[in-house]
Structure formats: structure tokens, C-alpha cells
Homo-oligomer: A and B are copies of this chain.
Amino acid sequence: MKPVNIGLLGLGTVGQGVANILVRNATEIERRAGRGIHVALASVRSQGKNLAGTLGIETTNDPFDVVRNPDIDIVCEMMGGEQPAMDLIMLALEQGKHVITANKALIAIHGNEIFAAARKHGVIVAFEPAVAGGIPIIKAVREGLSANRIDWLAGIINGTGNFILSEMASKGREFSDVLAEAQALGYAEADPEFDVEGIDAAHKLTILASIAFGIPLRFDAVYTEGISKISTDDVKFATELGYRIKHLGVARRRADGIELRVHPTLIPEEQLIANVNGVMNAVLVQSDAVGATLYYGPGAGSEPTGSAVVADIVDVVRALTTDPLQRVPHLAFQYDALSDLPMLAPEDFECAYYLRLQALDKPGVMADIMSIFGKLGISIEAILQKEPIDQDAGSDITVPVILLTRSVKEGLIQNAIGQISALNSVTEDISMLRVESLN
């Protein structure tokens, strides 16, 4: 069979990864796909890139040339950003071209519109590279677990954040110190907000939740909390209690709705995902038939993400002759079978909590605190009261108190924090982290 012609939008980190893989593994890929994959045209920001020349790829400065090229069957969008990526994708779909995109923000925010257009034109939009880089997590959840009702999933889906937390845990370093190193190593952007505040993870979680539960994409409903306030004390106390702190994206189906949340989380150290360190990603999925499955690998990078783009190309090539209505649906569930389930607000989230407070080392203080929990019906799983840390001679002596609650609604915990903060014997802001046993 004659080769399939593809067009690349962008020859940056991911685009170069795709181009390199297609050249280096051309034989291996053709042995699988049954036909060659030929890069007909690539758009670049500035003409004459060395790589494009080395690989013999024709280039253009105008990405619309790629989308309008009648010889191109599949367009791979690897530019990032909202525009012109959105216009290019919509135009490609109108032209009857299949699209592969690594653009997680675009899918999370505009995916419903994009998929509706794809359906109208009978073409595929594939997005494996948009979540967890080279891990075939979209395929696993959308196809591998199709027999299951998925109860929840929890993922380490931002490598920069995981690198920072891993370094803090293994070396006792401060957040700001590790962030600076991550920036120097190129793991973190100059503006690290997308990574460390959880926005990037929220984009990916939005996509994972849709394909797991069969709901439209609801980026607006994700509660997002970053890792910049995690202290070395929290890391140390969590370890003492047998936990690791990870920046998790959690999507959970409850009787009354869906929880979508990204936040630092204490996980028991014996959980496999608690031992995923450095820039690696992992997603744990709990389903009714298979139980727990976990998918681990590099969540970013030129060739890992390129690997996902090329796997999508091969999938699209294989589905070219398939009746469009019989193809794997974009969001795993048939377009007309998505359920717009209610999204829970943070006060209705339910999990266990870790609270760290600094209290006067005096009789009656713990009784006051425990009385507040008791009146609110919050059960305490563990208490860790530490020796006083060296303090100014003149001041009252205070000690750190760490509490682990049992599972409870977040509204109640916020209420408890409010009341405990108001006690004169509690001298500093209370640090609150969520705890997930992941069982």
C-alpha cells in the first residue's frame, strides 16, 4: 500500500521527537502499520531549521499551508497554545483530515467543540500525547478497561511537580530551592505556575475523567491546589507517619456526583504510586471488574511524547477503513451516550485529612482541640505530638501537633480549622493536606 501522508504543525520539542522516530523506526513502524508514514510538510516558526533539512522534510512558515495541503491525510498539532492551534484544528477537520494533538489545554477547554466538529466531518481527533506523555493511558482507559465501571483514578500527571516533591522527600530540601534547580535543568518553565500550581495537571485530569466516566469535558469544575506551600516539616511528618506527599489529580465518582481535584496528597508509602519518583508519571485506576491497575512511564519529553503521537498515527491509519460510527469514540463513550453528571463543590469532597498546627504546650490545649472535632463528629485516626523546637527564651513554648482524621466531608474540616484557628492556644496558621489510602 502507498504511504500515508502526514503534516506536522510545529517542529519544536515534540515535533522533532515525532520526526526523529518516524525516520529512525521507519521499518519497524511500517512492519506494524502495513504502510509507510511519510511527512509531507511541516510548519516551522523560522524557515530552514537544521533538523527538517537533515531529515529531508519540506517546511513552511505558514501552518495553514499544512492544513490546506490536499495530499495530507493526517495533521499532527504540536504547537501548543490556544491560537492559532484551535483554528488550524477546526480547519483541518472541515477539510476531512484526521487530527492528532498533544495540546492538553486545548482539549480540556475546547474539546467538546472540537469533537463535535470531528464527528460532523466523520474524522478522528486523537490525543494520546496530551496526557502523561509516552504512557498509553488514554488507550488503556478508553479501550483496555472498556468492560469496567470505573470508580476513581488518581495520577501523578505532572513531572515537574513530582521531581520537586521527590527531591524534597529524599533530601529534605526546600520547595523554592528545588524549583530553582528544576528550572536550571529545564524541567520547569521560567513561569512555573502551570506546573506547580496544578493547572497542567488539571487539564490532564479533565481529559482522564471524561474518558473514565463518560462525561463531557469539565475543566471549569476541577478544584486545583498547588505544591508551593508544602513545607519541609510537612514532608518530614508525613514520612514519620508512613506516608509520601504526591501532587495527585483525583477523579472520583460518588453517589451524588463527580469529584475533580488536583492537590498535594499524603499516600501510604506501601502504595506503588507513592514510590513513583523524579519526573516520572503514573496513573492508578480503580474499576469494578479488574480492580486496581497502574500505568507508569515518562510523562513528557521529545521522544516519549513523540511516541504517543506516532502510536496515534498508526491507530488512525488502521481505522481509515472503519465505519466512522464504529471507531473508538473520542471520549470513550458514544457521543450521544455521555452523561452530564453533577460536579461536586470542594465542601462536598470527602477524604481523610492531615492537619499540622502549632499549639501552646499547656494542659487543656489538646482537650479544647479534640472537643471541636468531637462536636463536629470528626474521628481522629492518629495524633503525633512533637517535642518543642528551640524557641526564643521569652516566648511561650509551642509544639507542633499533627492530626490524621478519618474520611469526612471537606466542609466539616474547614469548619474545624476555623474553630481551632480561633483558639488562643493555637499560634500559627494550620497546614491542611488531603490523605488518600487509594484502596
- 14 more A-B contacts (CB under 8 A) besides A28-B148, A147-B307? A21-B147, A21-B148, A24-B288, A29-B147, A33-B146, A134-B291, A139-B144, A146-B314, A272-B272, A289-B307, A290-B308, A293-B298, A318-B327, A321-B323
Q: Which residues of B contact A25 (CB under 8 A)?
A: 147-149, 288-289
- Taking the closest CB of chain B, its distance from the CB of A150, in whole angstroms, is 9
Q: Is residue A73 within 8 Å, beta carbon to beta carbon, of the partner chain?
A: no
- Taking the closest CB of chain B, its distance from the CB of A272, in whole angstroms, is 6
Closest chain B residue to A281, Cβ basis: B293
8 A Cβ contacts from A285-299 to B = 287-298
Residues of A at under 8 Å CB distance from B?
17, 21, 24-25, 28-34, 128, 133-136, 139-140, 143-149, 214, 272, 275-276, 287-298, 303-304, 306-311, 314-315, 317-323, 325-329, 332-334, 337
Question: CB < 8 Å: which of B31, B34, B135, B146 contacts A293?
Answer: B135
Q: Which residues of B contact A17 (CB under 8 A)?
A: 289
Give the docked Cα–Cα distance between A33 and B320 (Å).
Answer: 18
Report the copy number of this chain in the oligomer: 2
6 smallest beta-carbon distances between A and B, as pairs: A136-B144, A147-B310, A134-B290, A293-B297, A31-B337, A321-B323
Query: By the criterion CB–CB under 8 Å, are B140 and A310 in contact?
Result: no
Query: By the criterion CB–CB under 8 Å, are A322 and B318 in contact?
Result: yes
Query: By the criterion CB–CB under 8 Å, are A291 and B298 in contact?
Result: yes
Given contacts A25-B289, A290-B297, A326 and B144 within 8 Å (CB-CB) = no
Q: Which of A148, A289, A325 has the most CB of B within 10 A?
A: A289
- Taking the closest CB of chain B, its distance from the CB of A26, in whole angstroms, is 11
Give the docked Cα–Cα distance between A222 and B319 (Å).
Answer: 35
Give the docked Cα–Cα distance between A304 and B326 (Å).
Answer: 25
Question: CB < 8 Å: which of B294, B297, B319 contacts A291?
Answer: B297
Give the docked Cα–Cα distance between A310 and B149 (Å).
Answer: 12
Query: By the criterion CB–CB under 8 Å, are B146 and A329 in contact?
Result: no
Q: Which of A147, A293, A298 has the most CB of B within 10 A?
A: A147
- Taking the closest CB of chain B, its distance from the CB of A119, in whole angstroms, is 13
Closest chain B residue to A37, Cβ basis: B147
Q: Which residues of B contact A34 (CB under 8 A)?
A: 325-326, 329, 334
Give the docked Cα–Cα distance between A146 and B325 (Å).
Answer: 24
Give the docked Cα–Cα distance between A309 and B287 (Å).
Answer: 15
Q: Which residues of B contact A31 (CB under 8 A)?
A: 214, 333-334, 337
- Taking the closest CB of chain B, its distance from the CB of A316, in whole angstroms, is 11
Q: Which residues of B contact A319 (CB under 8 A)?
A: 322, 326
Query: By the criterion CB–CB under 8 Å, are A147 and B311 in contact?
Result: yes
Give the docked Cα–Cα distance between A43 and B288 (Å).
Answer: 26
Give the docked Cα–Cα distance between A306 and B148 (Å).
Answer: 10
Give the docked Cα–Cα distance between A332 and B317 (Å).
Answer: 14
Give the docked Cα–Cα distance between A333 and B25 (Å).
Answer: 13
Give the docked Cα–Cα distance between A290 and B303 (Å).
Answer: 6
Question: CB < 8 Å: which of B128, B294, B326, B334 contacts A296?
Answer: B294
Query: By the criterion CB–CB under 8 Å, are A318 and B311 in contact?
Result: no
Q: Which residues of B contact A24 (CB under 8 A)?
A: 149, 288
Query: By the criterion CB–CB under 8 Å, are B29 and A146 in contact?
Result: yes
Give the docked Cα–Cα distance between A140 and B214 (Å).
Answer: 22
Give the docked Cα–Cα distance between A297 and B287 (Å).
Answer: 11
Question: CB < 8 Å: which of B147, B149, B323 contacts A306?
Answer: B147
